[in-house]
């Protein structure tokens, strides 16, 4: 197909006149006997500002202010739903695309929502209390802490994953779909880290009870702290999982003369190893393992590749994390 010829000056003038009269681009194209894309092209070419390319704006400053209120009050509504609400609450009679454009002008963008644990009032109070109690700790104080946690790694990395670039009609093309299985293969991993680097990694082969957990600590934690701290003092951090809080586990720590940091529930945004797990998962996602052996090898390789500088940077963020919890009055933070 040859290149489309530019419209004459007279046709362009007629297009602008019809749009000023309130005709849509489709109606304008029908009346002049040209394509709608030609109308759109002519308007864009002869317009100095994109927001004015369609002629007179259908919404006023007051209408836009009302849309801002609607968007803030209905964060999870679709553009179509927001359009319906806007048309009902104002004199505006706009399309979905106009609503989308105004939302962009107001600074709103559609994004995948961040996932944070649901916290009740009591839990937020406990988080706030703990953050205030440790708010005076310096980065140097936190550099003495060994953080630990378990994390599950799956061959399939969840529902969201990376987005895909595709064209119309390619939704179900082989190259454009993400495979899923009902019961993806997975492995549970225990790890620890400090400002001095990552520790020994343990692939858990069975349900973790108190006895199994103590064996993990004996086999993987003790060699790590001996290597990283030697005769220096350190503090061990763990969450309140049943195996961690068991009486026999507490007795094990007492026998080993290890100091354990009091750690309340619902503090994932303060445990820097959570960020380390995320880093490792991002590194292995592109490798697309297909077997558990490949998955384990990829995890081990990515874990060992984490630098001491990365760990130190995460640990040094602890004072900022505590202040964020305090400022949020115990609510979830960005971390």
- pLDDT digit string (tens) for 284-304? 887 878 889 999 999 999 999
What does the alpha-carbon distance between residue 261 and residue 146 come to, in Å, rounded to a whole number? 9
- For residue 37, give the 3-state DSSP assignment: helix
Q: Which CATH architecture has domain 121-328?
A: 2-Layer Sandwich (3.30)
What does the alpha-carbon distance between residue 64 and residue 294 come to, in Å, rounded to a whole number? 53
What does the alpha-carbon distance between residue 265 and residue 260 come to, in Å, rounded to a whole number? 15
User: Which residue did the predictor score with more confidence, 92 or 75?
Assistant: 75
118 touches 334 (CB < 8 A): no
User: Which residue did the predictor score with more confidence, 73 or 10?
Assistant: 73
248 touches 270 (CB < 8 A): no
What does the alpha-carbon distance between residue 167 and residue 170 come to, in Å, rounded to a whole number? 6
Element (H, E) at 189: strand 186-194
Which pLDDT value is given to residue 215?
Answer: 97
User: Which residue did the predictor score with more confidence, 117 or 119?
Assistant: 119
Ranking 94-98, 140-144, 199-203, 211-215 by mean pLDDT, the lowest is 94-98
Q: Is the pLDDT of residue 179 over 80?
A: no
Ranking 65-74, 98-107, 152-161 by mean pLDDT, the lowest is 152-161
Confidence of residue 181 (pLDDT cuts 50, 70, 90): low
Instruction: Name the region of 252 (left: φ>0; alpha: ψ -120 to 50; beta: rest).
Output: alpha
For tokens 């202040």, the residue is 323
What does the alpha-carbon distance between residue 194 and residue 198 come to, in Å, rounded to a whole number? 6
Confidence of residue 198 (pLDDT cuts 50, 70, 90): very high
DSSP state of 206: S
CA nearest 178: which of 155, 197, 209? 155
Q: Is the pLDDT of residue 159 over 50?
A: no
Percent of the chain with pLDDT over 90: 51
What token pair was written down for 200?
A: 């020994």
- Average pLDDT for the chain: 86
Q: Is the pLDDT of residue 50 over 50?
A: no
Confidence of residue 180 (pLDDT cuts 50, 70, 90): low
Which pLDDT value is given to residue 172?
Answer: 66
By CB neighbour count within 10 A (0-12 exposed, 13-18 middle, 19+ buried), where does 262 fall?
exposed
| Residue 311 CB neighbour total at 10 angstroms | 23
Q: What is the pTM assigned to this prediction?
A: 0.67
What does the alpha-carbon distance between residue 213 and residue 33 come to, in Å, rounded to a whole number? 77
pLDDT by residue (tens digit) across 108-118? 888 767 767 77
Confidence of residue 4 (pLDDT cuts 50, 70, 90): low
What does the alpha-carbon distance between residue 248 and residue 179 come to, in Å, rounded to a whole number? 44
- For residue 334, give the 3-state DSSP assignment: coil
167 touches 131 (CB < 8 A): no
User: Which residue did the predictor score with more confidence, 257 or 44?
Assistant: 257
92 touches 56 (CB < 8 A): no
- For residue 166, give the 3-state DSSP assignment: coil
248 touches 223 (CB < 8 A): no
Which pLDDT value is given to residue 17?
Answer: 84
Q: Is the pLDDT of residue 158 over 50?
A: no
Mutual orientation of helices 96-105 and 79-89 as an angle, nearest 10°?
90
| Residue 195 CB neighbour total at 10 angstroms | 23
């Amino acid at each position: 197909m040859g290149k489309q010829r530019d419209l004459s000056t007279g046709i362009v003038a007629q297009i602008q006149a019809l749009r000023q009269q309130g005709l849509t681009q489709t109606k304008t194209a029908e009346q002049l006997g040209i394509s709608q894309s030609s109308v759109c092209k002519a308007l864009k070419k002869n317009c100095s500002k994109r927001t004015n390319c369609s002629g007179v704006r259908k919404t006023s400053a007051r209408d836009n202010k009302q849309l801002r209120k609607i968007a803030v009050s209905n964060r999870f509504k679709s553009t179509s739903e927001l359009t319906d609400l806007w048309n009902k609450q104002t004199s505006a009679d706009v399309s979905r695309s106009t609503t989308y454009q105004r939302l962009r002008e107001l600074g709103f963008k559609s994004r995948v929502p961040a996932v944070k644990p649901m916290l009740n009032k009591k839990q937020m109070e406990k988080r706030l209390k703990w953050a205030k109690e440790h708010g005076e700790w310096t980065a140097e104080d936190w550099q003495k802490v060994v953080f630990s946690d378990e994390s599950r790694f799956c061959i399939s990395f969840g529902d969201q994953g990376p987005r895909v670039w595709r064209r119309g009609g390619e939704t179900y093309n082989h190259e454009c779909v993400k495979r899923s299985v009902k019961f993806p293969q997975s492995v549970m991993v225990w790890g620890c880290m400090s400002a001095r680097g990552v520790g020994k990694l343990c692939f858990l082969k069975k349900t973790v009870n108190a006895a199994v957990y103590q064996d993990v600590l004996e086999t993987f934690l003790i060699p790590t702290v001996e290597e990283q701290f030697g005769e220096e003092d350190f503090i061990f951090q763990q969450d309140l999982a049943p195996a961690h809080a068991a009486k026999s586990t507490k007795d094990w720590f007492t026998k080993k003369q290890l100091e354990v940091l009091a750690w309340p529930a619902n503090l994932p945004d303060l445990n820097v190893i959570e960020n380390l797990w995320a880093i490792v998962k991002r590194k292995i996602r592109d490798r697309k393992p297909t077997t558990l052996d490949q998955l384990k090898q990829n995890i081990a390789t990515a874990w060992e590749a984490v630098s001491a500088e990365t760990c130190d940077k995460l640990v040094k963020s602890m004072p900022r994390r505590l202040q964020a919890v305090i400022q949020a009055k115990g609510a979830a933070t960005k971390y």
